[in-house]
Amino acid sequence: MIYTKALKCRECGQEYPKTPTHVCEFCFGPLEVVYDYEAIRRDLTLEKIASRPPNMWRYKELLPLDSDPTIGKQVGFTPLRKSNRLAKKLGVEELYIKNDAVNYPTLSFKDRVVSVALSKAREFGFKTVACASTGNLANSVAANAAAGDFESFVFIPYDLEPTKVLGTMIYGTNLVGIHGTYDEVNRLCSEIAGKHKWAFVNINMRPYYAEGSKSMGYEIAEQLGWKTPRHIVVPMASGSLLTKIDKAFGELHKIGLIRENNAKIYGAQATGCSPISTAVKNKWDIFKPVKPNTIAKSLAIGNPADGFYAARSITQTGGWCEDITDEEVIAGIRLLAETEGIFAETAGGVTVGVAKKLIEEGRIPKNESVVLCITGNGLKTQEAVVDKLGKPPIIKPSLSEFEELIKNKGGFPPSADPKGGPLRG
């Protein structure tokens, strides 16, 4: 059974056949996959979902493949964890972490979009896949291309974090560093995509690729017992993930799997690259592209492709945006780690820090459910915190030296939270 009907322009509604293409010939609007929601409503029941393995493909009718997935079949269904210790610190009653820092196989939410894009690339018969990336996409395309027997080309700004570079090269991809920002990398890739017949996951494959992000929304709703949270905070680079989580909740409501959709969606950015947050907070209807300057490199897109739609999702659901300094990003990473035992990358620090700010501002109330989307793993951005943690004390292998150490209390570097561990204040 095939549930996708066509591609359709988001702006003028012009329909196109399902091919590897992403812009409208008439108005240059972005193309989106059209589904047969009537058929999905009939076929996709809660029982059917529950009977399937715990991965993102349990919602396959709502994803844009015309056959079963061939790449990334184990991706998704990451933990949604009730997070009482962090809730207490932030002053809210009901808080959950959706933890894509442990997504399979490359420890970020990008494995969701890449498994859709590469499975679709295989359907279309491509032998080579490619991407422009701020880091995590590079890791995921390289890994999944290796496992899926594709040739791959990956383009990144030359100054990404070393672990993002290493975590791409290890898979034997063709990695190219570009002297420029992500936006310049992306522009170059559009030119390359015009010349080489490759599946560029976030260019000509973008309508299919982007749909993979919806799975994070479906999972959150299922893990909450088939309802949406009242508030959800999502980090934004291009703004695609946020837009697709909104879409996912809307679809679950449309096909009757949840009774109501009353989620307010909040966007999180670092102030050093905050074009979407700035536009929303100032109620602008145009975006000012920016030149990124932040440690949150995975979110450093100065000219966000889906910024307009993300802003619309935020305002239409009654959510809001915030952005925070790099210092606050680091504090967010440490707070999440010390309260919940989850080591997130800089984007996760952005989400936690922005949630804290939105709660302090009274934008997110204290007595309604909140989900924070943690999208990437802290081991990939160690330089953000490496100088902040101090050094562990080193002693001889002697009981008396240890006893001396804990008696004096001064031997351990302080925790981020002054009321942290008993010995570390």
Q: Which is nearer to ligand PLP, 252 or 299 (CB)?
A: 299
Among 2, 19, 27, 341, binds Zn ion (CB under 5 A): 27
136 binds, among ligand PLP, Zn ion, none (CB under 5 to 8 A by kind): ligand PLP
Choices 24-32, 159-167, 190-198, 361-369 (CB under 5 A): range interacting with Zn ion: 24-32
Interface residues with ligand PLP (CB under 6 A)? 108, 110, 136, 235-241, 298-299, 345, 347, 375-376
Beta carbon of residue 18, minimum distance to Zn ion (angstroms, whole number): 16
Two tokens, residue 331: 């504090």
Residue 414's φ and ψ, nearest 5 degrees, are -65, 150
> Of 113 and 335, which CB lies nearer to ligand PLP in the complex structure?
113
For Zn ion, the binding residue among 9, 248, 276, 300 (CB under 5 A) is 9
Phi, psi of 352, rounded to the nearest 5 degrees: -65, -45
Distances (CA, A) of 308 to 29, 46, 163, 312, 416: 12, 33, 32, 6, 36
Between 32 and 161, name the residue whose CB sits nearer to Zn ion.
Answer: 32
CB of 15 to Zn ion, least distance (A): 10
CA dist 62 → 86, 149, 183, 381 (Å): 33, 26, 30, 33
CB-nearer residue toward Zn ion: 9 or 130: 9
Dihedral sign for Cα atoms in the order 164, 153, 375, 53 = negative
Q: Is 36:64 a contact under the CB 8 Å cutoff?
A: no
- What minimum distance in Å lies between the beta carbon of 81 and ligand PLP? 18
User: Any residues with CB less than 8 A from the CB of 234 and at least 6 apart, and which?
Assistant: 241, 242, 245, 265, 266, 267, 268, 351, 373
User: What is the enclosing helix (H) or strand (E) of 373?
Assistant: strand 370-374
Binding partner at 24 among ligand PLP, Zn ion, none, C-beta below 5 to 8 Å by kind: Zn ion
Shortest gap between Cβ of 404 and ligand PLP (angstroms)?
A: 43
* Chosen from ligand PLP, Zn ion, none, partner binding at 252 (C-beta under 5 to 8 Å by type): none
In degrees and rounded to multiples of 5, residue 21 shows phi and psi of -145, 155
CA nearest neighbour of 3 among 33, 32, 30: 33
The verdict on 29 binding Zn ion (CB under 5 A) reads yes
Distance in Å, CB of 203 to Zn ion, minimum: 17
Sheet arrangement for strand 15-16: 15-16, 4-9, 31-35
375 contact, one of Zn ion, ligand PLP, none, CB 5-8 Å limit per kind: ligand PLP
The site for Zn ion (CB under 5 A) is made up of: 9, 11-12, 14, 24, 26-27, 29
